[in-house]
Structure 1
Amino acid sequence: MSRNEATVTSALPQTSTILASLGQAAFVWDIATDALHWSDHVGAVFPDIPAASLSSGAEFAKLIEPERAIRLDALSQSPVHGGDGTPYRIEYGVRASTSAPLLWIEESGSWLAGADGKPARAQGIVRINNERRARDQQLLKLARHDPLTGELNRAHLIAALAATIEETTRFRTSCAFMLIGIDHLARINDAFGFDVADAVIAEVANRIRSRLRAGDVLGRFSGNKFGLILKNSTVDDMNVAAERFLAIIRDEVVPTKSGPVSVTASIGAVSVPRYARNTDEVINRAHEALDGAKRRRAGSFSVWRPNVERDAQRRVNIRVTDEIVTALNERRIAIAYEPVVAARSREAAFYECLVRMEQDDGQVLLAPDIVRVAERLGLIRLVDHRVLELVIAELANSPAVRLSLNISPDTTMDTDWWTSIECLMRAHPGVGERLIVEITETVAIQDIDDVRGFVTRLKNFGSHIAIDDFGAGYTSFRNLRKLGVDIVKIDGAFVQNIAQSADDRAFVQTLIDLARRLQIKTVAEWVQDEESAVMLREWGCDYIQGRLIGLASSQRPWGAGAEAVLPAAG
């Protein structure tokens, strides 16, 4: 033993008791002879490891997992610091035998170089850090896995998908990606609580996991959706797998603390790389397929395939979206006026304002072309805001005219739209009394209390409320009274054929009679011939609108002395 080694080992017993109580042991390693010298209580740190396995670096290395050469590698790869020694720190596992548990070791110390500049001697401390290792592993697991189901989280699922796509491209194989969505999970939340819904999610994950092949990858994509990578999967394999997953989710109820819950799931899938070559395409197309499955029937399966009509419509949507935004910025949104006349006198009662958009080439897009796309792409609020400004400005400039304004369902509950209308009403006193706001029947039945609050605020400005396309939905007349509706506009689909259809005649006449008894005014839309107009007048319909009366025009159809004839609401 060298003089330096003797000095160190003589000092070891002085601190060995303290180190042992901390689960630590000190060592000196003579690398030239490979001899390991430990503090006296090393047996307390490694109780199941024989002394022979601790006597040399080579013998100790046989116990190390996963890399046996980790200690020598750490020394040889550290930059030399000089005479004070070069510090190092490593972690590794030690297993006394194949059946023994793995002990995680943290080793820290320093080494000194010999005359050749290579490590000649190392000294330091080892300590057991199983608890910290377990905690680190748990944190790593939480970073990679969903805490509820234990499956991969979204980020790592997408990373696995990217790796699989690269693999299929390199080896010219195929795989499938599925999105599995639990149907009506919100209903379970509402009926039983979120804890029961969580139990359902966890059980569905277990059932899917039980039907996976080796190599398939499952992850939780979002709240009620799982993503599944089926490696080396043909289209036939995908269909068989989907039916297997649907059946195991559907066929047995899920036991929960609140009782058994019946669950179904829908699946959307895409074949990779045939129909998708990157993660964005894969996920988007799997989503499309899942949405298609849910629209068709809950608990069904759909595979994404190219669709020429869908792609063409998307190109149109992109073009029209750009045109709408540009037209809004360039003030090319305009309104046209369609007359609504009294059924008996044929005098104008008010004018319905319909949106128009002037295109760069001079063509004009009509309301159906604009509104459908704007609603689908979330632009309708901007369009409704602009139309509101134009309508209020026209009412302010034409004090003897009444105008009606259609607003979309989304705008009904838009606080910004309400703020705008309040500001405009206050800026132009009296204008609200000549404004009729038309809301669809669908909106009226969505949330009766919210809609009633919206209606009340408008009525405080003296405005009238009309229900558009009445008869197409399921609004009861009781709800109309509850809302304080002034006018119902009978859906033109029932009006246009009353001269030929006895069923339509009975339906429209009944609506008019009920509305009259409740003192609600009626407007018949799509009146196209004189015979229909006479019938409506005789049945007591208050106003008519349609091709017989006149189509919408961008020119103001009223004169300076025009008088509106709409009576006050009953």
Structure 2
Amino acid sequence: MTETDPDTQADLASNKKTSKWLEAPVLISSLALLGLSLIWAATVHLTDDVLSTASRNTASMATDVADTYEAQVIRALREIDQTLKLVRYDTQRQTPEAAMRELGERDLLPPSLLFSIAVLSPEGNLLATHGNFRLQHPEEHTFFQEALNANQLTLSRPIDTEAGTFLYFARGVGSNQNQASGVVALAVHADYFVSGYDNTTLGDVGALGLVASDNHFRVYRSGDAISTGLPMGNFIGELPKLEDPSLAPLMYHPWDGVERYTVIRELFEFPLSVVVGLSHREQLEPALTTKREYFWRAALASVGLVGVAAILGFLSWRLQRTRQQAMQERVLHAQKVEYLAFHDSLTDLPNRAYFSRLLTQSMHEARRYERQFALLFLDLDRFKHINDSLGHDAGDDLLQEIARRLSRSVRESDVLARLGGDEFVVLLPNIPDPQQVAPVADKILAACGKPFTLAGQEFRVTVSIGITLFPKDGDDEQTLMKNADMAMYHAKELGKNNFQYFSESLNTDSLERLTLESSLRHALERNEFRLFYQPKRSMKSGQITGVEALLRWQHPELGMILPMQFIPVAEENGLIVPIGRWVLRTACQQSVEWQKSGLPPLNMAINLSARQFIDESLLDDIKQALQDTGMSPELLEVEITETMVMRDVETTVDILKELKSMGVRVAIDDFGTGYSSLSTLKQFPVDSIKIDSSFVQDLTRSVEDRGLTEAIIAVGRNLSLNVIAEGVETSEQYEYLKEQACDEFQGFYGNAALPADKLSQLITSLEGNSAEPRE
């Protein structure tokens, strides 16, 4: 027998083992085991991924819901706080009932179906209400005492009433001595803060609520169940800190035993926190269903290795598609939220926040490439009058049309934004020469100056523009915007419908204005005011028929200050009312003294400011002045502007009727500059209308001004009113007005405003002499 070589025997054994593994049963079993391992390994991995993704999405969704809920709550609380501040402000300057009534008439109070407002005395008595304010004995509640003793917004615990559970917000009403003289309180149903969500967002056991600093819920909602006053315990301190702040942590809620992805946010401006929780079990139920589905499919796939690839491919495709859809939805939602956050909802222009970003970016680029750019600050002239006379809908239509015209007036590379109200800004990048800004400003003025059709009527609205240059006029956003705003107000002071560049002199004027305001508070006490009297003369005879009392300020350091410099300041700080009361009494007393000295009785005209006209003590002040001085009411004439008349026609008619019943004459000043019509003017019991000096100034050169002047005189003649022309300075103006049968005139062509003694001498010198005016 032949022996086999050892090496050959080793090779044969190796081949035998290899062939054994290649046999069908072994190979199939091996492939089956390998396939089953792959199937179940992949299945376990996919199900874990689904659960992990679902958990992460739920945690992220909880954060998104919290962001939305926090924004809504802050907006609601700001509106509530703004309402309280507004009521408190008006209550400090007039009686609570009058303040509440006025705010209600101006639609500045929230709807009474949702909110009720009350002004309470320090003892808790109701002084004025808006809506059904149901709280009994408010003085017994902690929030009332806190509001009474602290200058901040206070919030009550939930209080049960017959109409449900309410939350009460309050602020103290300060007196002149900074002591609380009452409380303004606002009541809102507790459900108001959690009623904006349905179960599609929160689920059946999702949580939503507001927590105060005492760790008690002011209102809490889980599913459809809403509760108040629920204690939360020291839950906030147990929240874990995660590496990713956009994901909500999973926490056990001890008050109802539910595990939720929880977000708690402390509100920066208010003593509250928002709580949002999405149930772990409820939100992951679809993922658990998917997990069971995957295991079932894996079990079926294990029967035959043929379906392994198809099943795994299907699961992978299904999972990838779910991920893509979820990601796409999140991207679309984020884009929508970002757009709404950075664009104005009315005009679709960038808003203040977005413009701030663009301005900062432009500053960085300008510094880097050593360039300069221009910033135009635009404000509509007399926009408030359109809102008051035509309504806010017409005002919104006007703002939208202004935005369209501005968009067509600037280049694509320029930035146009709306800051709010009737304020717009335009950023012109890369401006080598400041004079290149002027054509753009002219183009904007021309575009905005074209007629508008609002509520079936044609109007012309102009804009005033302030211009600043970077970095010359400011090296930061705040300075640049402030200086542009200052330049814009300078443009308004120069007659509106123009543009002005910023200069350091404007900043100096601003400081002088602050100094002026400080001195103005003591001017009345120090007897620094003076009255000058400008004669009104007859067109036919030239005789002096009356005088208009004009206020001057004899400042000890600045000298004589004209009204246009200090009257706006007095209007803003409320000093115009006591100053106007002094003018009224002084003018009446002067009229009586002139008569005692032998001068003939003269009509005394006194201007009323907008603030004086709406002051509730106006009629009493006039009665008291006439009674104290003994002046005949028929010699007193009050002048109000056409704009003041049109703000509230019904109230104006009531006031004018009261004045007429006293025997006082009424004149409408600056006639032709407002929006009144002949039919509207007929409602007002007035005696005279005064043609604005802006029409008289260009009377001999402007066909449009001549037409307006003739129309005003015709209106006065049709209504049997006395027509007075202001600002007559030349013989041409005088002769033209005389030909048009104007009744009286004022201006330098007749006489400038004079002190009382000089006017007395003038009247005496005219007696027996020719009264023909001279240029």
| Alpha-carbon distance between aligned partners in 1 of 2:364 and 2:593, rounded to the nearest angstrom | 65
Cα shift at 1:273: 0.6
Computed over aligned residues only, the root mean square deviation of the Cα atoms, in angstroms, reads 6.4
**Structure 2 counterpart of 1:464, one-letter code:** R
Cα shift at 1:463: 1.8
SS of aligned partner of 2:562: helix
**Structure 1 counterpart of 2:524, one-letter code:** L
Cα shift at 1:282: 1.7
**Structure 1 counterpart of 2:471, one-letter code:** P
| Alpha-carbon distance between aligned partners in 2 of 1:408 and 1:209, rounded to the nearest angstrom | 42
Match runs of 1:73-92 below 5 Å:
89=242
| Alpha-carbon distance between aligned partners in 1 of 2:408 and 2:612, rounded to the nearest angstrom | 43
Per-residue Cα deviation, 1:417-467 (whole angstroms, up to 9, x for no partner): 734535526865964525422537877997896776654332211123455
**Structure 1 counterpart of 2:531, one-letter code:** I
1:406 alignment partner in structure 2: 606
| Alpha-carbon distance between aligned partners in 1 of 2:588 and 2:570, rounded to the nearest angstrom | 23
Q: Closer, same or farther in 2 for the Cα pair 1:45/1:228, shift >3 Å?
A: farther
| Alpha-carbon distance between aligned partners in 2 of 1:460 and 1:347, rounded to the nearest angstrom | 29
1:511 alignment partner in structure 2: 741
| Alpha-carbon distance between aligned partners in 1 of 2:423 and 2:603, rounded to the nearest angstrom | 47
Asked if the contact 2:347–2:400 (Cα under 8 Å) also holds between the matched residues in 1, the reply is no
- Residue segments in structure 2 that go unaligned for 5+ positions in a row: 1-40, 54-237, 253-280, 288-322, 668-687, 696-708, 762-775
Asked if the contact 2:352–2:420 (Cα under 8 Å) also holds between the matched residues in 1, the reply is yes
1:177 alignment partner in structure 2: 375
Asked if the contact 2:379–2:424 (Cα under 8 Å) also holds between the matched residues in 1, the reply is yes
Per-residue Cα deviation, 1:515-546 (whole angstroms, up to 9, x for no partner): 4xxxxxx5777677xxxxxxxxxxxxxxxxx4
- Residue segments in structure 1 that go unaligned for 5+ positions in a row: 1-34, 48-84, 93-103, 111-123, 516-521, 529-545, 559-570
- 1:330 counterpart = 2:526: yes
- 1:421 counterpart = 2:621: yes
| Alpha-carbon distance between aligned partners in 1 of 2:251 and 2:691, rounded to the nearest angstrom | 84
SS of aligned partner of 1:460: helix
| Alpha-carbon distance between aligned partners in 1 of 2:542 and 2:439, rounded to the nearest angstrom | 66
- 1:371 counterpart = 2:567: no
Q: Closer, same or farther in 2 for the Cα pair 1:480/1:319, shift >3 Å?
A: farther
Asked if the contact 1:175–1:272 (Cα under 8 Å) also holds between the matched residues in 2, the reply is yes
Cα shift at 1:272: 0.4
Asked if the contact 1:246–1:264 (Cα under 8 Å) also holds between the matched residues in 2, the reply is no
Asked if the contact 2:537–2:746 (Cα under 8 Å) also holds between the matched residues in 1, the reply is no
SS of aligned partner of 1:220: strand
| Alpha-carbon distance between aligned partners in 2 of 1:138 and 1:373, rounded to the nearest angstrom | 49
Asked if the contact 1:432–1:461 (Cα under 8 Å) also holds between the matched residues in 2, the reply is no
- 1:147 counterpart = 2:342: no
Asked if the contact 1:285–1:304 (Cα under 8 Å) also holds between the matched residues in 2, the reply is no
Match runs of 1:102-113 below 5 Å:
none
Among candidates 571, 584, 592, match of residue 388 of structure 1: 584
1:436 alignment partner in structure 2: 636
Match runs of 1:44-193 below 5 Å:
89=242, 139=337, 141-148=339-346, 151-158=349-356, 160-162=358-360, 164-165=362-363, 168=366, 172-179=370-377, 193=394
Q: Closer, same or farther in 2 for the Cα pair 1:144/1:337, shift >3 Å?
A: closer
Per-residue Cα deviation, 1:488-535 (whole angstroms, up to 9, x for no partner): 5555736xx6xxx577346436536xx4xxxxxx5777677xxxxxxx
| Alpha-carbon distance between aligned partners in 2 of 1:39 and 1:414, rounded to the nearest angstrom | 76
Q: Closer, same or farther in 2 for the Cα pair 1:414/1:280, shift >3 Å?
A: farther
Among candidates 416, 420, 426, match of residue 222 of structure 1: 420
Q: Closer, same or farther in 2 for the Cα pair 1:414/1:170, shift >3 Å?
A: farther
1:277 alignment partner in structure 2: 475
| Alpha-carbon distance between aligned partners in 1 of 2:537 and 2:408, rounded to the nearest angstrom | 64
| Alpha-carbon distance between aligned partners in 2 of 1:243 and 1:484, rounded to the nearest angstrom | 45
Cα shift at 1:304: 2.2
| Alpha-carbon distance between aligned partners in 2 of 1:170 and 1:206, rounded to the nearest angstrom | 28
Q: Closer, same or farther in 2 for the Cα pair 1:173/1:327, shift >3 Å?
A: same
- 1:304 counterpart = 2:504: no
2:659 alignment partner in structure 1: 458
Among candidates 747, 755, 773, match of residue 552 of structure 1: 755
Q: Closer, same or farther in 2 for the Cα pair 1:288/1:90, shift >3 Å?
A: same
| Alpha-carbon distance between aligned partners in 2 of 1:266 and 1:490, rounded to the nearest angstrom | 28
**Structure 2 counterpart of 1:335, one-letter code:** L
Per-residue Cα deviation, 1:459-490 (whole angstroms, up to 9, x for no partner): 211123455865845373454467775x6555
| Alpha-carbon distance between aligned partners in 1 of 2:542 and 2:733, rounded to the nearest angstrom | 26
| Alpha-carbon distance between aligned partners in 1 of 2:395 and 2:659, rounded to the nearest angstrom | 38
| Alpha-carbon distance between aligned partners in 2 of 1:402 and 1:311, rounded to the nearest angstrom | 44
Asked if the contact 1:352–1:405 (Cα under 8 Å) also holds between the matched residues in 2, the reply is yes
SS of aligned partner of 2:472: coil
Q: Closer, same or farther in 2 for the Cα pair 1:305/1:399, shift >3 Å?
A: closer
| Alpha-carbon distance between aligned partners in 2 of 1:179 and 1:283, rounded to the nearest angstrom | 8
Cα shift at 1:222: 2.5
Number of equivalences: 416
- 1:493 counterpart = 2:728: yes
SS of aligned partner of 2:551: strand
2:199 alignment partner in structure 1: none
SS of aligned partner of 1:415: coil
Cα shift at 1:312: 6.8
SS of aligned partner of 2:741: helix
| Alpha-carbon distance between aligned partners in 2 of 1:350 and 1:284, rounded to the nearest angstrom | 45
Asked if the contact 2:585–2:625 (Cα under 8 Å) also holds between the matched residues in 1, the reply is no
| More relative contact order, 1 or 2 (CA 8 Å, 6+ apart) | 1
SS of aligned partner of 1:493: coil
| Alpha-carbon distance between aligned partners in 1 of 2:718 and 2:368, rounded to the nearest angstrom | 66
SS of aligned partner of 2:755: coil
Cα shift at 1:388: 1.4
Cα shift at 1:311: 6.4
**Structure 2 counterpart of 1:493, one-letter code:** V
**Structure 2 counterpart of 1:146, one-letter code:** D
1:476 alignment partner in structure 2: 712
**Structure 1 counterpart of 2:741, one-letter code:** L
**Structure 1 counterpart of 2:47, one-letter code:** H
Structure (1 or 2) with the greater helix fraction: 2
**Structure 1 counterpart of 2:503, one-letter code:** P
Q: Sequence identity of aligned pairs in percent?
A: 16
State which drifts further: 171-180 or 269-278: 171-180
1:30 alignment partner in structure 2: none
| Alpha-carbon distance between aligned partners in 2 of 1:427 and 1:399, rounded to the nearest angstrom | 16
| Alpha-carbon distance between aligned partners in 1 of 2:653 and 2:429, rounded to the nearest angstrom | 54
1:31 alignment partner in structure 2: none
| Alpha-carbon distance between aligned partners in 2 of 1:240 and 1:87, rounded to the nearest angstrom | 59
Q: Closer, same or farther in 2 for the Cα pair 1:174/1:339, shift >3 Å?
A: closer
| Alpha-carbon distance between aligned partners in 2 of 1:270 and 1:282, rounded to the nearest angstrom | 7
**Structure 2 counterpart of 1:178, one-letter code:** L
Asked if the contact 2:726–2:747 (Cα under 8 Å) also holds between the matched residues in 1, the reply is yes
SS of aligned partner of 2:469: strand
| Alpha-carbon distance between aligned partners in 2 of 1:364 and 1:409, rounded to the nearest angstrom | 24
SS of aligned partner of 2:662: coil
Cα shift at 1:387: 0.6
